Amino acid sequence: MSKFMNYAIQLAQMVDGQTGVNPPVGSVVVKDGRIVGIGAHLRKGDKHAEVQALDMAQSEAKGATIYVSLEPCTHHGSTPPCVDKIIEAGIQKVIYAVKDTTLISKGDDILKNAGIEVEFQYNAVAAQLYQDFFTAKRNGIPELTVKVSASLDGKQATDDGESKWITNKDVKKDVYQLRHSHDAVLTGRKTIEADDPLYTTRIADGKHPIRVILSKSGKLDFGQQLFHDNASPIWIYTENKNLTVDNSNVTIIYMEQCEIKSILKDLYQKGVGKLLVEAGPEITSEFLQSDHLDHLVLYFAPKIIGGSGKYQFFQTDQIISLPDTTQFEIVNSMLIHQNIKLVLRKK
């Protein structure tokens, strides 16, 4: 694999989580063995990676090779098709790492018809970066991750509701990074009441996610600190038609039925490409049973809480037989100062 392609993929990884419903893409323009332009798609509505790189390369793009982490786009959206810019710049060869299965027209054919050599160099790292994006785009639903911090016996709190803190401070720092890489974080009314959280990203130059609250009843205490923090917008999904609030940072979204799929589709339409769920057992269990779940991030503290299981992070009304249980594969595991982090992907 070319080092220039690796650079393009690294650029894409750097902007992952900040492009909304658009894919993170990196691009490198190379001429006579020298990099003459680099680019990354920074946010929805901005120039695409190829355009950024070609603008940097200027006249040196003529006769050059462009490396792209994802097949160049062919559609007119908020920006023109990248294939048009590539042709206009006089690029001699295009090399990309992943085919965009959501494209209506084939970029290869358009570029080849313009006399440009095209090479598809499959890269497993890049493919993993876009796997959930393709599914999200086809379904019109954000990439969905559920995060849980719990004891070894799966408790998010004691039977008395005590939850501060089960995991350690270093886990909290890791969670801030997790929030930074998502467009929005979703929680429920009961978690807001119990923990009075902010759901911000307390890291240098961190990106604060949109705070999404699911409260069917709308019985919220607007005196809590979250509603006095303007770090990012707050969206409340509710079935309460009479819920109002005198706060320009808070948007109330009424639904006849606050069903998970309807909320996910609405969030995607509003530009949320990656959603993180940080909630109590009730909402966590709902999302873990959802057909749209992509990843589960588990933080385990080396302690056993016991009790009745009132705050067990996964609960169901019915007994599920073993063949019907939700299956995961472990993507990554790490030790965070005696706490364990597991990143799992739903099979």
CB 109 within 8 A of CB 81: no
- Please name the residues in contact with 33: beta carbons below 8 A apart, sequence gap of 6 or more: none
- Assign 65 to helix, strand or coil: strand
162: annotated active-site residue: no
Distances from the Cα of 330 to the Cα of 89, 176, 210, 299, 321, angstroms: 44, 21, 28, 13, 22
The structure tokens 């785009």 sit at 137
- Assign 330 to helix, strand or coil: strand
Distances from the Cα of 128 to the Cα of 179, 182, 345, angstroms: 20, 17, 11
Which helix or strand (DSSP H or E) is residue 308 part of? Answer: none
- Please name the residues in contact with 59: beta carbons below 8 A apart, sequence gap of 6 or more: none
Sign of the torsion formed by the C-alpha atoms of 50, 51, 57 and 62: positive
Question: Residue 70: which of 92, 41, 109 has the closest Cα?
Answer: 41
CA angle 295, 41, 15 (to 5 degrees): 40
Distances from the Cα of 313 to the Cα of 68, 158, 185, angstroms: 41, 12, 17
Pairing of β 295-301 and β 339-346:
antiparallel
Q: Which of 50, 60, 71, 278 is catalytic?
A: 50
CA distance 77 to 47: 11
Question: Residue 143: which of 151, 152, 134, 154 has the closest Cα?
Answer: 134
* Pair of tokens at residue 6: 């690796």
The strand order across the sheet containing 26-31 reads: 34-40, 26-31, 65-68, 93-96, 117-120
Active site residues: 50
